[in-house]
């Protein structure tokens, strides 16, 4: 139990589908993150939300759309993805967006077919 | 922009061998440094961290890391590895201001009996 819960754990979607990944943190943190983990690549930071405002968006294609309705929940909406988007998507949280320890969820394995 | 280099992609050791995993970073200011570990099928979890003070940091499971500022390094060590240390190890760095963690590509450690 990490305090950061992600659903679904596994998702297979077609390139024309629309789906969403959900993340919930039970740690009382103010910052939440989406990372992408692909084989043989560093963990890529996608988005950062601090106090429900997006503070970082690392040139992520618009087919990925984050949403942070409150400080405990974070979504990643997926639309018209490509096979190269298949990866492990990790949600994380930290006390605040200031170089603190980040706590990760178990990830959502996404396969785009 | 900050970056992290982990020079070893895959390390294979026998049980009881000593371990040292290299990590070098590039960043102009004061840094926070982390090592995360990902055991097979599990989430990323914090192994140890350095924010300030004694540059030799001790973490869980007998791991330690030494921050050498002049070398921009934060190498991870363990005097005697066990089979259960088989995992992927990630070095990460952030500035002390509003900067997110940047991860290295990771080093896969395989410990054989």
Residue A66, chain B, CB below 8 Å: the answer is no
Chain B residues whose CB is inside 8 A of the A100 CB are: 32
Q: What is the pLDDT of residue A1?
A: 62
Distance CA A85, CA A12 (A): 11
CB contacts < 8 A, A to B, total: 52
User: Would you say residue A102 has pLDDT above 70?
Assistant: yes
User: Would you say residue B2 has pLDDT above 80?
Assistant: no
CB count in 10 Å sphere of residue B108: 14
Q: How far is CA B14 from the centre of its chain?
A: 20
Distance to chain A for B39, nearest Cα, Å: 11
Q: What is the pLDDT of residue A54?
A: 79
Residue A3, chain B, CB below 8 Å: the answer is no
Q: Mutate which of B25, B35, B101 to test chain A, going by most A C-beta atoms within 10 A?
A: B101
Chain A residues whose CB is inside 8 A of the B95 CB are: 99
Between B95 and B1, the more confident residue is: B95
Question: For residue range B8-43, what is the model confidence (pLDDT) as tens digits?
Answer: 899 999 999 999 999 999 987 888 999 999 999 888
Strand spans (E) along A1-113:
4-7, 10-13, 18-25, 31-37, 44-50, 53-57, 64-70, 73-79, 87-94, 103-104, 108-112
Confidence bin at A99 (pLDDT 50/70/90): low
Distances (CA, A) of B113 to A110, B8, B82: 34, 21, 8
């Amino acid at each position: 139990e990490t305090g950061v819960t992600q659903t679904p754990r596994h998702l297979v979607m077609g390139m024309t589908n629309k789906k969403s990944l959900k993340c919930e943190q039970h740690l009382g943190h103010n910052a939440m993150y989406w990372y992408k983990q692909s084989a043989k690549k560093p963990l890529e930071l996608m988005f950062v939300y601090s106090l429900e405002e997006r503070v970082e968006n690392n040139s992520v294609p618009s087919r990925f759309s984050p949403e942070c309705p409150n400080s405990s929940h974070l979504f990643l909406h997926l639309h018209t993805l490509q096979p190269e988007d298949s990866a492990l998507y990790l949600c994380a949280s930290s006390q605040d967006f200031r170089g603190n320890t980040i706590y990760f969820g178990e990830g959502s394995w996404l396969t785009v077919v | 922009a900050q970056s992290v280099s982990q020079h070893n992609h895959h390390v294979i050791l026998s049980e009881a061998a000593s371990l040292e995993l290299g990590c070098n970073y590039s960043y102009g200011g004061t840094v926070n440094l982390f090592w995360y570990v990902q055991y097979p099928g599990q989430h990323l979890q914090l192994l140890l961290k350095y924010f300030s003070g004694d540059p030799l940091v001790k973490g869980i499971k007998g791991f330690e890391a030494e921050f050498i500022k002049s070398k921009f390094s934060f190498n991870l060590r363990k005097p005697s590895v066990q089979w259960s240390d088989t995992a992927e190890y990630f070095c990460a760095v952030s500035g002390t201001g509003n900067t997110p963690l940047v991860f290295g590509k990771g080093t896969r450690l395989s410990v054989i009996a």
